A and B are shown apart, each in its own frame.
Chain A
């Protein structure tokens, strides 16, 4: 018989600042070993995939196994370009944040494939419900960088009219839902949107993203319940980037099981994928989207990746994790891996890569110049302050008309 000796377990990460980073606890199965089930498979037959790791690119950059989406050279180049553009964009925006031209920024470095591959695997009309780290969706949908920068600068062309924090984009036209600072709320909204789409027999589906940390929020579980009950056409992505500000994934419940397996309790087919493998993310998203579009309901996808930089410009990761941890992350970098694949396939070269890097830097620089001509947080043109009383309600009530007058606006 077991002794009566209950104790509290406090999850602790493997290593802390000052220690040698160690990721030997992460098992990386060989690429290509996970079977690709038919898109109309009975979810009960693929429960094991919630603990697998779907990978297409092997260490040599070769695409292997059933999940290889067999993308054209054009599609690969489009993906590479969008990931590189996202990274160049992030780099510039952090620089301008340090110059005081905006107050805050969040990079997606190391996680570009999560958003870019998904955007390319979805249809343009599909509705995205992102977190603040999926700027790659907008970039991959060819949304103008200038428009994104206008928001980050909160300048005279900011479509959010100076009201929202930097990177909290919202674009109805690009199918990019307003980002909320309160975590996890987008999951329930995505399911609601998908339910409406299903009720209208619309072919469009919804896709949502959430961090592994925020899966602890009630909204995540409520959304899974509804997605399952109504078989909503939605792709529910969990971006497991290992860190929620300073909390490692164990604090979010990652020690005992995978985040993908959360979906199984709700009867939702759930897949786990190498989030730094562009081809794998593309293939898995496509699989889930096809299921949703053909009336087979939701899919949960855990994207196993790594937040290579801080949470935002407001935190210092060296306080809670070893500075060199990113270097030992076993799944590499999504851009480097796709590049290696394309070079190996004879579709790309180091020279082309370097040329593209220069070109994209120039694209970002030019966009930055244009956007800054419309103002920055620090100086230049801005939306008139008097407009801040608009849109609180559809029509401005008398008390706000009065308060606006009192404010001298």
Chain B
């Protein structure tokens, strides 16, 4: 996993991993709202393969923290039904790569429930899942598929880059009346066996707070170039920005935090200032988040001092072996190199 060059999180007695932040948010909301329940594979006793439900079974019991059969079609479909009955189900589907088996329930049922009931029935569910590679798990366990879900009307798509945002975004997602896909990146999750970018481990208020869905954050201010990232790629962008600074370039880094809704205005405002744009995606290149961001800036007629660029995976499945995976995944080196081609053409 990538090792960060800087640690910007404030020192604090309380430092949370994203996994801990997610489980804390869910637990607090379950206490506050009896309609909230969790379903998924290995979420009970094990506390989730990626630690998102740690301690919840012991606190809330097996009726509200339900281990399910390995039947994604059934438990995602059931969540749509539960949501229609007024419950607020949070379902975990271990890997986004597995969404294929239950795609109909996601993009035809959950996403269209409100629309095709003429607004009578909503679908307040959260579908949380792990995304991303970098730990040698090959092409059926390493995709992010951000754009695939960002593309579908009716769904909200959230991608935290740190524990503070993860908690606030999760609380917002559970309370949202729409289906929300909550994607946590394995390289940021704080699971010992996966390795974790330390900067994602942050302080977070113990109490209740929300990070609104659809509001990007400027995580580093700068004046020469705008680097746009999401999830893990925010950290690549921050690492690259630190290096660029040594070379006399001031990079602004934007953390999208959600891609549906997408905060186009924050990006546009930044590019109006810097005149240069590099999007750091972590998904297949074609038809991706990078294209959407660049289009959003171009469509607004913002004058650019150099052609905008995007970093993404080539359009091939993520291979297993690290020597190949390295060429596919974005990293700080690639971001810095691409930024320099824009800054010093």
- Using a CB–CB distance below 8 Å, which chain A residues touch chain B? 8, 10, 12, 16, 103-104, 154, 158, 162-166, 168, 180-184, 213-214, 216-219, 244-247, 251-253, 314-315, 319-320, 377, 382-383, 385, 388-389, 392, 399-400, 403-404, 406-409
- How far does the alpha carbon of A289 sit from the alpha carbon of B309 in the complex, in Å? 58
Cross-chain contact A163 with B324 (CB below 8 angstroms): yes
Closest 7 CB pairs of A and B: A216-B69, A162-B321, A181-B140, A216-B71, A246-B46, A10-B62, A403-B314
Count of chain A to chain B residue pairs whose CB atoms are closer than 8 Å in the complex: 132
Tell me if B70 and A388 are in contact (CB < 8 A): no
| Docked complex Cα distance between A383 and B319 (Å) | 12
B182 CB to nearest A CB, Å = 21
Contact A383–B141 (Cβ < 8 Å): no
Q: Are B141 and A8 in contact (CB under 8 A)?
A: no
Interface segment out of the listed B97-105, B237-245, B275-283: B97-105
Scoring B residues 320 to 343 as 1 if CB is less than 8 Å from chain A, else 0, what string do you get?
Answer: 111110111000000000000000
Contact indicator A181/B45 (Cβ below 8 Å):
no
A103 to B134, CA, bound (A): 12
In the assembled complex, which residues on chain A have CB atoms less than 8 Å from the CB atom of B71? 216-218
Is residue B212 within 8 Å, beta carbon to beta carbon, of the partner chain? no
Q: Of A166, A315, A388, which is within 8 A of B327 by CB?
A: A388
Q: Tell me the complex Cα distance, A253–B42, Å.
A: 15
B15 interfacial contact with A, CB 8 Å = no
A16 touches B45 (CB 8 A): yes
Is B63 part of the binding interface, using a Cβ–Cβ cutoff of 8 Å? yes
Known: A213-B70, A217-B70, A385-B324. A400 touches B97 (CB 8 A): no
Interface of B is mostly: loop
The reply to whether A245 and B42 contact each other, CB–CB distance below 8 Å, is: yes
Docked-complex contact B70 and A244, CB < 8 angstroms: yes
A162-B321, A165-B320, A388-B316 known; A182 vs B327 contact (CB < 8 Å): no
Q: Do A377 and B136 touch across chains, with their CB atoms under 8 A apart?
A: yes
Q: What are 30 inter-chain pairs, A to B, with CB distance below 8 A?
A: A10-B66, A158-B321, A162-B320, A162-B323, A163-B317, A163-B324, A164-B139, A164-B320, A165-B136, A168-B138, A181-B95, A181-B141, A183-B70, A216-B69, A217-B70, A218-B73, A244-B70, A245-B49, A247-B42, A251-B68, A252-B70, A314-B193, A319-B46, A377-B321, A388-B316, A392-B317, A399-B286, A403-B314, A403-B316, A409-B327
Q: Is the CB of B70 within 8 A of A214?
A: yes
How far is A252 from B74 in the complex, measured between Cα atoms in Å?
Answer: 12
Give A320's nearest chain B residue, CB to CB.
Answer: B45
Given A181-B141, A388-B324, A400-B316, verify A246-B45 contact (CB < 8 Å). Answer: yes
Q: Quick one: which of B63, B74, B314 contacts A407, CB cutoff 8 A?
A: B314
